[in-house]
């Protein structure tokens, strides 16, 4: 990179590569330019720099003596982008010429880019970042949602209200993809009712490229201009049109860019139509028959499924398929009925709708669940697709999810690890030896860092509570109370995630008298912080939010329970870096993996969770807390009641006593031992570098180089 650039230009370049989001030194630099606006702009450096002239920026940088830090970061970005000694350089073989294409309906990269709703999207984002760090060539393909998912407010009754705000594309780190003549690339996807068009944006995520399709262009009629406005918005027709754009339009965007895929990774079934587009390309370019083209196409496809309940999979009826897949079916020589068969468990059953997951399973070489337990559940669920095989022989494996370490580590913890984990530890995060370094850290020091993070988390909570109350026109008294409720020396439990009902956000409220005794114990009190969004059409989820909002006002719990509105990656980061315990209580076996608890582990926060998803294979009796005994009951009410009882019992007998057991210095030795055990035993396993390496070695290389394989019958 050019060293003659001005400081302002260097900041612009840094702001336009999301690499900055996982460099501990860059957030403070941008923030320092204008802390107030930084917060108001959702930590968006592109928007912030637009508000300042180059002269203002340079003056501010001189005043704060930031110049050498900016030069250093800029130089590191240059080195990062051109490095040749990566893991992938020697280990990713053919992918160096033909990259992995990673297709997903959502990407959670940073709070300033609101094109995600929850764990699926954050996983996609973490995969792109780890692929970048490892030097595994990858191109992400997704949709650009101009109104994001939604912004959440609670009204006075605690009922969730959704707000939709158009984000300004000129304030995001995105550029229009242009063709050789400098014209914006526009892809076209045909339906029986005419074409849908989309422009293509590019976002640089370290070394990884992310392409986002956006239907908001003049070529479309008013209805289709809104097609990609909202993530998971609209009806089934919106849904299939979005998925058509993602799968078919996504592959056409790659063609326009002359990107030759090594393999396709379908992250969840939303993008499965890509298989049919790949088939079309083989037929069109190589003159193959449909059967032959399908056989070859599927050798290049890797599929990850995330949904352990049948109802959670996208299904479309005949008419929607006819309208949207008709033209593609014509081109590949199939009837609409033939297409329907590809999406059915029992191809001959005219009453069975088209299921995206079925197409993805039939059209992929490798299919994976996202944890060991989810693998077993998934093999049972899809057994009917392979009726002649035993359950063990169902060709669905698993690669357990992990999180991108540097994106989720608190800077203070990062600095601590940096001193004890050995040279270049960030490039060796899947090595257990690295994490064993935690044993060298002094208990008192680890505890001090944790308490610092807890204090800044509580500051954040206070700021948010005050803002929420002011917006609702609360009294001065209420606002003053909220700004000092919750204490740093009280055991603090965090619960934040999507409010899907199976996650049972209100499980801990099953017995209010018992919770009252736990929370208000004079010697050993407990406080709870909640956050999360319910899908706009999920009234049951909204009722859970309302219940918590109302209990936060109950005299017994006032000041002990907080609900933070508008859960996003920023809220997540604050909470899971600063609470003592991360609570997770999905109804087993419905949590395919879960990842927020993995982020907590990295920061020394202990998990208290049912034995579901990743925790079922992570918990070893010494590295956090489990309850529910891994049981599943055919009657969910009984299961919920048993789990709640065991949650209370575990809190009362194990978690609370251990937290408050202090030595003469006030240090909870037993607790810190568990923190260290969690970091040591789990850090190296449940991170995204390990996950991406597994995908390369077990899936991508085979799919990119495969020459033959068997069709499922």
Ligand X SMILES: *Cc1c(COP(=O)(O)O)cnc(C)c1O
Helix segments in 536-668, DSSP class H: 539-551, 569-578, 596-602, 615-618, 636-650, 656-660
Note whether 112 binds ligand X by CB under 6 A: no
Buried b (16+ CB within 10 A) or exposed e, 376-406: bbbbebbbebbeeeeeeebbbebbbbbbbbb
Question: CB within 8 A of 453, min separation 6: which ones?
Answer: 410, 412, 413, 577, 578, 603
Among 99, 118, 135, 683, binds ligand X (CB under 6 A): 118
Least distance from C-beta 87 to ligand X, angstroms?
Answer: 24
Q: 454 or 599: whose CB is closer to ligand X?
A: 599
| Site size with ligand X, rule: CB under 6 A | 13
Note whether 568 binds ligand X by CB under 6 A: yes
Q: 567 or 671: whose CB is closer to ligand X?
A: 567
Residue in the block written with tokens 């802390």:
35
Is 133:296 a contact under the CB 8 Å cutoff? no
Note whether 628 binds ligand X by CB under 6 A: no
Note whether 138 binds ligand X by CB under 6 A: no
Q: 280 or 574: whose CB is closer to ligand X?
A: 574
Is 198:224 a contact under the CB 8 Å cutoff? no
Note whether 688 binds ligand X by CB under 6 A: no
Among 458, 569, 583, 699, binds ligand X (CB under 6 A): 569
Note whether 594 binds ligand X by CB under 6 A: yes
621's tokens: 């009796």
Q: Which of 435, 460, 434 shows the shortest CA–CA distance to 577?
A: 460
Least distance from C-beta 572 to ligand X, angstroms?
Answer: 4
Cis previous bond, 589, omega within 30? yes
Among 596, 609, 610, 674, binds ligand X (CB under 6 A): 596
Question: CB within 8 A of 293, min separation 6: which ones?
Answer: 279, 280, 282, 283, 286, 332
Among 160, 595, 639, 674, binds ligand X (CB under 6 A): 595
Q: Which of 569, 539, 460 shows the shortest CA–CA distance to 117?
A: 569
One character per residue 449-488, x = contact with ligand X (rule: CB under 6 A): ----------------------------------------
Note whether 572 binds ligand X by CB under 6 A: yes
Q: 191 or 596: whose CB is closer to ligand X?
A: 596
Note whether 122 binds ligand X by CB under 6 A: yes
664's tokens: 């003469």
Is 578:555 a contact under the CB 8 Å cutoff? no
Least distance from C-beta 596 to ligand X, angstroms?
Answer: 3
Q: 50 or 570: whose CB is closer to ligand X?
A: 570
Q: 87 or 499: whose CB is closer to ligand X?
A: 499
Quickly list DSSP for 358-369: HHHHHT-SEEEE
Q: 202 or 497: whose CB is closer to ligand X?
A: 497
Note whether 61 binds ligand X by CB under 6 A: no
Instruction: Give the interface segment with ligand X, choosing from 23-31, 345-353, 515-523, 568-576 (CB under 6 A).
Output: 568-576
Instruction: Give the interface segment with ligand X, choosing from 384-392, 505-513, 552-560, 592-600 (CB under 6 A).
Output: 592-600
Least distance from C-beta 123 to ligand X, angstroms?
Answer: 8
Q: 275 or 569: whose CB is closer to ligand X?
A: 569
Least distance from C-beta 595 to ligand X, angstroms?
Answer: 4
- 8-state DSSP, 174: -
Note whether 609 binds ligand X by CB under 6 A: no
Q: 567 or 627: whose CB is closer to ligand X?
A: 567
**Secondary structure, 3-state, 493-527:** EEEECCCCHHHCCCHHHCCHHHHHHHHCCCCCCEE
Quickly list DSSP for 635-653: SHHHHHHHHHHHHHHHIII
Least distance from C-beta 481 to ligand X, angstroms?
Answer: 28
Which run of H or of E encompasses 11?
helix 7-15
Q: 344 or 497: whose CB is closer to ligand X?
A: 497
Q: 249 or 402: whose CB is closer to ligand X?
A: 402
Least distance from C-beta 122 to ligand X, angstroms?
Answer: 4
Is 95:147 a contact under the CB 8 Å cutoff? no
Among 497, 504, 680, 690, binds ligand X (CB under 6 A): 497
Which run of H or of E encompasses 211?
strand 208-214
- Summarize as ranges the residues that interact with ligand X (CB under 6 A): 118-119, 122, 497, 567-569, 572, 594-597, 599
């Amino acid at each position: 990179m050019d060293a003659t650039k001005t400081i302002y230009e260097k900041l612009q370049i840094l702001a336009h590569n999301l690499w900055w989001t996982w460099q501990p030194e860059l957030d403070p630099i941008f923030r320092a330019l204008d802390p107030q606006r930084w917060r108001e702009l959702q930590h968006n450096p592109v928007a912030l720099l637009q508000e300042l002239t180059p002269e203002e920026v340079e003056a501010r940088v001189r005043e704060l003596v930031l110049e050498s830090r900016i030069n250093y970061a800029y130089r590191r970005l240059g080195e990062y982008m051109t490095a040749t000694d990566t893991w992938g350089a020697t280990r990713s073989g053919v992918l160096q010429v033909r990259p992995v294409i990673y297709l997903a309906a959502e990407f959670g990269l940073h709070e300033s880019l609101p094109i995600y709703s929850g764990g699926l999207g954050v996983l996609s984002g973490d995969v792109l970042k780890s692929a970048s760090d490892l030097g595994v060539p990858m191109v992400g393909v997704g949709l650009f949602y101009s109104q994001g998912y939604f912004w959440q407010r609670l009204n006075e009754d605690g009922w969730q209200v959704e707000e939709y705000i158009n984000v300004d594309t000129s304030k995001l780190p995105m550029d229009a993809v242009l063709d050789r003549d400098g014209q914006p690339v526009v892809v076209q996807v045909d339906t029986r009712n005419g074409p849908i068009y989309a422009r293509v944006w590019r976002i640089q995520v370290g070394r990884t490229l992310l392409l986002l399709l956006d239907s908001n262009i003049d070529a479309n009629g008013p209805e289709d201009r809104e097609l990609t406005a909202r993530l998971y918005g609209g009806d089934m027709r919106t849904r299939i049109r979005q998925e058509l754009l993602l799968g078919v339009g996504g592959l056409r965007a790659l063609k326009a860019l002359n990107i030759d895929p090594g393999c396709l990774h379908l992250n969840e079934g939303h993008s499965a139509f890509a298989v049919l587009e790949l088939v079309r390309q083989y037929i069109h370019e190589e003159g193959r028959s449909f059967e032959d083209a399908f056989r070859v196409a599927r050798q290049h496809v890797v599929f990850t499924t995330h949904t352990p309940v049948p109802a959670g999979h996208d299904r479309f009826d005949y008419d929607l398929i006819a309208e949207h897949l008709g033209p593609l079916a014509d081109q590949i020589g199939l009837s609409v009925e033939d297409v329907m068969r590809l999406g059915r468990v029992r191809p001959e059953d005219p009453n069975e709708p088209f299921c995206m997951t079925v197409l993805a399973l039939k059209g992929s070489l490798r299919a994976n669940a996202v944890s060991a337990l989810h693998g077993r559940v998934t093999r049972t669920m899809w057994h009917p697709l392979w009726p002649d095989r035993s359950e063990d022989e169902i060709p669905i494996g698993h690669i357990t999810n992990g999180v991108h370490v540097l994106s989720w580590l608190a800077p203070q913890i990062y600095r601590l690890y940096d001193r004890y984990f050995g040279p270049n530890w960030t490039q060796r995060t899947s090595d257990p030896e690295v994490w064993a370094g935690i044993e060298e850290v002094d208990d008192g020091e680890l505890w001090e860092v944790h308490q610092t993070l807890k204090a800044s988390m509580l500051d954040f909570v206070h700021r948010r509570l005050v803002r929420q109350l002011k917006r609702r026109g609360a009294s001065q008294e209420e606002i003053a109370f909220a700004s000092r409720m919750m204490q740093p020396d009280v055991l603090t439990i965090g619960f934040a995630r999507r409010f899907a009902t199976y996650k049972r956000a209100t499980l801990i409220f099953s017995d209010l008298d018992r919770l009252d005794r736990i929370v208000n114990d004079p010697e050993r009190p407990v406080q709870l912080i909640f956050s999360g969004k319910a899908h706009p059409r999920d009234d049951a989820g909204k009722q859970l939010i309302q219940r918590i909002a109302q209990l936060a006002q109950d005299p017994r719990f006032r000041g002990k329970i907080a609900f933070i509105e508008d859960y996003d990656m920023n809220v997540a980061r604050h909470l899971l870096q600063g609470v003592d315990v991360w609570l997770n209580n999905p109804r087993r076996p419905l949590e395919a993996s879960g990842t927020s608890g993995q982020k907590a582990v990295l920061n020394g926060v202990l998990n208290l969770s049912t034995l579901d998803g990743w925790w079922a294979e992570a918990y070893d009796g010494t590295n956090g807390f489990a309850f529910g005994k891994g049981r599943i009951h055919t009657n969910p009410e009984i299961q919920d009641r048993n789990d709640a009882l065991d949650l209370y019992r575990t809190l009362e007998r194990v978690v609370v006593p251990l937290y408050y057991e202090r030595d003469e210095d006030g240090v909870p030795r037993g607790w810190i031992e568990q923190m260290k055990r969690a970091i040591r035993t789990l850090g190296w396993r449940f991170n995204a570098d390990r996950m991406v390496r597994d995908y390369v070695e077990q899936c991508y290389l085979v799919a990119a180089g495969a020459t033959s394989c068997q069709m499922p019958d």
